[in-house]
């Protein structure tokens, strides 16, 4: 048995919603050992993600939410590897805007446990940035993957369609800031942080409203 590691790939592309389009860099996280792995957010570049897998068997493509920048390469990666695409069903309306002819393969229900190379990862439904946004908690690895729900410096954006600020605050307060303070927060864009570094700022975020 080999040690489980977390690989990080940054891919570049665009995010489009509500008629606007923005250039973005996305974090793609790969959790696994030398034999098997899962991908968290197949963003923009299936070739780059496939290369980073380095021949390992891909067992799941987890989507933290269905904004197009996080899912645009998911069907191509699934086609190439045979891995199923997993999404919380509350984000299907967003998914269909990008992939109207290809549904996800499995549902990410709250509390579902995924196991990769013997390590459990638990789905936390953390809506607000989008209705079906999830985080993936891996206590044995000391980390949580938060997608666009929690970043270094505050909550994900809630100014566009399908988003809600009070809902994301509830998700962060009840599901994420309750994790151990040393938990490393691996985000959908930009730098990682820790629960302990972010928790003291919750009241500031609520006061400023974003």
Q: How far is the CB of 129 from Fe ion (least distance, A)?
A: 6
User: Does residue 199 contact residue 169 with C-beta atoms inside 8 Å?
Assistant: no
User: Does residue 29 contact residue 6 with C-beta atoms inside 8 Å?
Assistant: yes
Q: How far is the CB of 178 from Fe ion (least distance, A)?
A: 23
Residues 144-163 that bind Fe ion (CB under 5 A): 148
Sign of CA dihedral 110, 136, 133, 88: negative
Q: How far is the CB of 144 from Fe ion (least distance, A)?
A: 17
Contact map string, positions 108 to 147, toward Fe ion, x by CB under 5 A: ----------------------------------------
Judged by beta carbon, residue 75 or residue 155, the one nearer Fe ion is 155
Complete edge-to-edge strand list for the sheet that includes strand 5-17: 5-17, 20-32, 36-40, 57-62, 85-87, 106-107
Binding residues with Fe ion: total (CB under 5 A): 2
Is residue 72 involved in binding Fe ion (CB under 5 A)? no
Judged by beta carbon, residue 91 or residue 148, the one nearer Fe ion is 148
Stretch that binds Fe ion, among 42-50, 67-75, 92-100, 192-200 (CB under 5 A): 67-75
Judged by beta carbon, residue 57 or residue 160, the one nearer Fe ion is 160
User: Does residue 105 contact residue 85 with C-beta atoms inside 8 Å?
Assistant: yes
Q: How far is the CB of 140 from Fe ion (least distance, A)?
A: 27
For 197, the token pair is 């570094």
String of DSSP letters for 80-149:
HH-PPEEE-GGGHHHHHHH-TT---SEE--TT-EEEETTEEEEEEE--SSSTT-EEEEEGGGTEEEEETS
Distance, CA of 100 to CA of 171 (rounded, Å): 29
Among 44, 56, 67, 88, binds Fe ion (CB under 5 A): 67
Q: Which residues bind Fe ion (CB under 5 A)?
A: 67, 148
């Amino acid at each position: 048995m080999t040690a489980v590691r977390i690989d990080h790939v940054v891919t570049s592309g665009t995010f489009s919603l509500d008629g606007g389009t923005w250039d973005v860099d996305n974090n793609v996280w790969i959790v696994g050992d030398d034999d098997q792995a899962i991908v968290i957010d197949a963003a923009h570049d299936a070739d780059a993600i496939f290369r980073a897998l380095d021949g390992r068997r891909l067992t799941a493509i987890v989507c933290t939410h269905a904004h197009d920048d996080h899912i645009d390469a998911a069907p191509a990666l699934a086609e190439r590897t045979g891995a199923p695409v997993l999404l919380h069903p509350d984000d299907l309306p967003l998914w269909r805007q990008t992939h109207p002819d290809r549904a996800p393969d499995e549902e990410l229900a709250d509390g579902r446990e995924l196991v990769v190379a013997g390590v459990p990862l638990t789905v936390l439904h953390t809506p607000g940035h989008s209705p079906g946004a999830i985080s993936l908690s891996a206590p044995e690895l000391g980390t949580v993957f938060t997608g666009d729900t929690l970043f270094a410096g505050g909550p994900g954006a809630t100014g566009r369609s399908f988003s809600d600020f009070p809902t994301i605050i509830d998700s962060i307060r009840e599901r994420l800031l309750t994790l151990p303070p040393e938990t490393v927060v691996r985000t959908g864009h930009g730098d990682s942080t820790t629960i302990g570094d972010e928790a003291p700022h919750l009241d500031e975020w609520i006061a400023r409203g974003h």
